[in-house]
Structure 1
């Protein structure tokens, strides 16, 4: 990066490296210099006054050990203003001796650097001293003594105040008025040049102190005006009242009083006046007004109702806390406070707080709901008949339970509410809970009966063959056997009263009754069927932890030769398990990318939430994402660098390839023309293995023809059913598959011979049996 040193100078003020004096801004390029090389770029002011400061600019000038100025001894007292590649040093020229000539800088290594131009001098300002009353106060006039005092433009006071010199200065004398913020210390004269010459006084200015009268102790209300009296109070920079700083105050014209508003946050304590010098003056102690509570009504008060508080100085209250509830909603009007009682409030103290941290308290009591009656006392779990609770102030109830199991609440009012059970409800007393945690329990106990002994609270709607089915509920220890349709479950991993886990047995895919055979001989059938899905092969191709950061590092172990994607077939599910990075600074997102990070072609059709670049927002609460690989996806994986998972703020934990295992057995696959021939023949040995109830599927494509037909025959055409029947299909256009359930009649008609398909106007592509 190019480093540019900028310095603005006026004509006759700055001597540049090339000795050119200019009123324009000049840029010195330091990029050409080594990082540790010493280089002199410019110096100034030139001409300069004897006794003033001379500045040098360049690189690494902090390495300069002495400066040779013609006419005087080498100067070794060097002020380093800035070190490094862009640096500045300063020296103070002696008043006596400096002559016109070139200035030479000598480094600690012995190297010399000489200015390109000669140093010249102007008639110097000579600062001999000043006269002022002792001690001095703001508004006093300082008389500056010396030579060329008419060239002095301003005076800098300790503490940072700068004041212009009064008009009418002469060569030997100038005057300046002391500002309010002036502090004890050196005063500095300035000629206010572009590179100003500064002249320091030998003796310090001694400032007097303000007088602050200490007032008698008083009780003061926040928001009221407070007045401090004294003398020279213009020297006060700030007020601290009860630990709170105040800088916004009014000063009287004669500087004898300060008036300020007592802040709301000020607690009882001292009022301190702090001068610009930093000295503290105690203006007296005070007590902040504390409100008084006269009454709190009504009592008891109902949660959600309005509590009225009367008293004195209640306008000072900034927040109200109840037991169990902070920052209640309230309003102050007409000298009283109206506060909304939070639902979570409990009996006890109510605390009214001020901005200064103090508070006043009062005791409150609350309205308590009452249960007077509960009916009926016997219900069936999950029935629509409610349990009705009668009583008082029941609208305060927020939840209900019975025997530890939650009940739903409807029709809640002050005098009654309805409770509804579900299939898992149990017998017990009614328990009503308020928002503040208060619990009401009925005297009566409700008996819960069941239409079924086994109750499920959680179960899957479907599961793949060979994968785990998890059932949660109650009374599961009553189950002897579980059936999926007519298929008995044989592999269990957990059998408990509230949980059963088993592997889905092999069944033909579809929807089946979930049946429980109980030890008492009863069979209970669940209302909702369970789906059986295809068995799957699951292959883990990577496992570990890989954080992608914020688009910083794509997951690439499976790219560019990391995995043989040519072995993956169309329709495979690519499953990615992940967790969200705790360092996430914005919403996590994932892209299924190829070796060049471009999105997979199928992403946009499978994820409607993906943006234009294929970035998929990761759903909150999920830990996996799946993409079904199409032909175009596999082409990218094989021919364009494999898989890269890129995006932001997720950690890859596992990558799997999942394939469904078909249940059908393929009898024929190809492209057989059907033209009143034995287009496809199934051997008699295969047909002999078939059982009644199996499903035969013939996949076909129609071809241009006057008509289209597929017919089942035996290979010698002795079974050749013509016309409209169960073995002859004429309506082929608009479809692509024929399904035929194997029955005893078909097997009998084939007579133990090979089975063939014939017809016209189509091609048979696939024949399967399930």
Structure 2
């Protein structure tokens, strides 16, 4: 049944009435009784003629300030329905007489209508029967001058019209079955709700006549709301009661609809619980939208859950969970993991699931389709039964034994110094001990973020030469650094970033020449025979001048190459690792694809080991890369076989080293 609203034409009428007038926007702060000029004004009222006992409406501005309406033949009307500041409504008394209507405002000012109010024939609604109906029943309304009525309006604004309104009709449903001066018969629409009936003349500004009594529209009913405890998706539920044939939808607690079947013989509705059923109330819903509670659901959840080997859990392990109602589990959320894991298999008593990477100890969350969750504690495997073989010396290697050592991803010694893992298995871990490591607890870190600190080590001084003064100072590349060492007599070599450097040892004072190429995170190695102790130092980089090693103009079009710095064209053996090479160029703007490759002449123009071929950005003028020891080895071998620059669609103009 369509709900019909007859307002568009009425608003057009208002527009026509007002189009010849000029007025400002409403302002209810100041009282201005000059009509149609803003402030407080009356723009239109109606209907006129109006039925006594009908609704009279007033439209304008500031009408919420009206305290009384005066109609000839009546006492002041103070029972005013304020729809908004732009509209008020009153019920016309039976004693009302024709004449001008006066609006009285709270400040004592008045507005009098420009035209007189007149009255229509005395339409009346004397009775309706039956007083209780089902949708589809015939409702009979009796009264006087009902031939002037063209609409019967049920709650909630469900309209049945006669054929004169021009509304589209479905025969027998939203048309009058009988229409005389004293009687109207209509079918009660499926969408109708209990409430007062309104008779309307269907005019653009309609007369509305309300019934004194409320029409009772029958809705489905049950003797009691049934208890559906421990229910599962797929379970069938049957509800018995009266008028269940009026049910149009069975609505689940989460708002979803369940399919259902009505049995006239059993006066019942049977529905199946959906996969996402949740706890709450189940409603039978009528065509009018009225909800009738028919059941309370408490969905079953997994119970008595046990994790097989809940301790010592590892990533990639197939975890087995047993219990009751296990088939309800739709996903599993492991502690420490953000994404849910779908079970590998599922029965009513057992679920298996693969443990994802990143799982930590904590509560395992079992999710169900209803939204209910169950938690159970799990404990991940961790390094245990830890001990250390032999004496632990700074700068040398230590062997740690125990269980689950293959899970270790890092070893941190006292002083927040991390050692390098040399080798590991499930029961043994060999790690380098930092030269500045101190005695105390060692932290074994795991890839899932967990850590163990159950191992306490006594770290002794290195057997070879080592630094005892600390390395917290600021050291500049290209300058000399001085440190205090022990066992200096055993020192045989000093390397920085793998390259031997000059040094002078005077007593326990060691002076070291820092290469110009040294920078952040550089390696300082003190070698004593077959023992080497490494320190990581961030040197302040030296400011090095940019040296031009080639300049000119060479067009590189389609992977041709320039070998001027190859085949002994430059002494690459004199270049230090860490040197920055820069190629300057001009791009060919006629194309949009530009590429460059720094290759070795002695390796068939293949790219250097750590500098891959790359595309050049539009508008760019240079390409820079850092030469490593591996790159320089290629360039300097075979008597400086050297560099080839190749690529496409640019003209090379200069090459520099810095």
TM-score interval for Structure 1 and Structure 2 normalised by the shorter chain:
0.5 to 0.7
The within-5 A match list for 1:453-492 is 453-457=468-472, 459=474
1:88–1:455 Cα change, 3 Å: same
**Matching residue of 1:329:** 341
TM-score normalised by structure 2 residue count: 0.56
TM-score normalised by structure 1 residue count: 0.49
Question: Is 2:74–2:96's contact at 8 Å kept on the other side of the alignment?
Answer: yes
The within-5 A match list for 1:604-643 is none
Deviation of 1:221 (Å):
0.9
The within-5 A match list for 1:675-690 is none
Question: In the aligned structure 2, how far is the partner of 1:108 from the partner of 1:373?
Answer: 93
Deviations 1:11-67 (A, max 9, x none): 9x9578xxx659xx8996424878422222222234433432222122222333333
Question: In the aligned structure 2, how far is the partner of 1:77 from the partner of 1:181?
Answer: 31
Deviations 1:125-179 (A, max 9, x none): 32222111x5433333221112343444444434555555533331322223334
**Matching residue of 1:39:** 41
Deviations 1:401-440 (A, max 9, x none): 2235331444665456553455543245644233463526
**Matching residue of 1:733:** none
Question: In the aligned structure 1, how far is the partner of 2:440 from the partner of 2:456?
Answer: 10
Q: 1:199 aligns with which of 199, 209, 213?
A: 209
Question: In the aligned structure 2, how far is the partner of 1:34 from the partner of 1:328?
Answer: 59
1:14–1:475 Cα change, 3 Å: farther
Question: In the aligned structure 1, how far is the partner of 2:95 from the partner of 2:213?
Answer: 21
Q: 1:137 aligns with which of 134, 139, 142?
A: 134
**Matching residue of 1:90:** 89
1:286–1:421 Cα change, 3 Å: closer
1:298–1:266 Cα change, 3 Å: closer
Q: 2:278 aligns with which of 266, 273, 276?
A: 266
Question: Is 1:240–1:246's contact at 8 Å kept on the other side of the alignment?
Answer: yes
1:119–1:365 Cα change, 3 Å: closer
1:227–1:29 Cα change, 3 Å: farther
Q: How many residues align structurally?
A: 461
1:149–1:355 Cα change, 3 Å: same
**Matching residue of 2:24:** 30
1:380–1:57 Cα change, 3 Å: same
The within-5 A match list for 1:1-12 is 9-10=9-10
Question: In the aligned structure 2, how far is the partner of 1:404 from the partner of 1:304?
Answer: 34
**Matching residue of 1:345:** 360
Q: Does 2:457 correspond to 1:447?
A: no
Q: 1:307 aligns with which of 313, 319, 333?
A: 319
Q: Does 2:183 correspond to 1:189?
A: no
Deviation of 1:198 (Å):
1.8
Question: In the aligned structure 2, how far is the partner of 1:356 from the partner of 1:39?
Answer: 58
1:441–1:105 Cα change, 3 Å: closer
Deviation of 1:227 (Å):
3.2
Q: Does 2:56 correspond to 1:54?
A: yes
1:414–1:48 Cα change, 3 Å: farther
Q: Helix, strand or coil: the match of 2:215?
A: coil
Question: In the aligned structure 2, how far is the partner of 1:227 from the partner of 1:32?
Answer: 59
Question: Is 2:443–2:451's contact at 8 Å kept on the other side of the alignment?
Answer: no
1:176–1:400 Cα change, 3 Å: farther
Deviations 1:651-683 (A, max 9, x none): xxxxxxxxxxxxxxxxxxxxxxxxxxxxxxxxx
The gaps in structure 2 that reach 5 residues or longer are 1-6, 33-39, 162-173, 478-482, 486-502, 519-538, 544-658
Aligned CA-pair RMSD: 5.0
1:57–1:295 Cα change, 3 Å: closer
Q: 1:406 aligns with which of 395, 402, 417?
A: 417
Question: In the aligned structure 1, how far is the partner of 2:251 from the partner of 2:28?
Answer: 54
Question: In the aligned structure 2, how far is the partner of 1:115 from the partner of 1:453?
Answer: 105
Question: In the aligned structure 1, how far is the partner of 2:422 from the partner of 2:20?
Answer: 84
Question: Is 1:244–1:263's contact at 8 Å kept on the other side of the alignment?
Answer: no
Deviation of 1:229 (Å):
2.6
Question: In the aligned structure 2, how far is the partner of 1:160 from the partner of 1:263?
Answer: 37
**Matching residue of 1:107:** 105
Q: Does 2:175 correspond to 1:166?
A: yes
**Matching residue of 2:450:** 437
Question: In the aligned structure 2, how far is the partner of 1:270 from the partner of 1:76?
Answer: 45
1:97–1:288 Cα change, 3 Å: same
Question: Is 1:424–1:457's contact at 8 Å kept on the other side of the alignment?
Answer: no
1:419–1:234 Cα change, 3 Å: farther
Question: Is 1:306–1:341's contact at 8 Å kept on the other side of the alignment?
Answer: no
**Matching residue of 1:117:** 115
Question: In the aligned structure 2, how far is the partner of 1:126 from the partner of 1:178?
Answer: 20
1:412–1:360 Cα change, 3 Å: farther
Q: 2:262 aligns with which of 252, 275, 294?
A: 252
Q: Does 2:147 correspond to 1:147?
A: no
1:150–1:456 Cα change, 3 Å: farther
Q: Helix, strand or coil: the match of 1:203?
A: strand
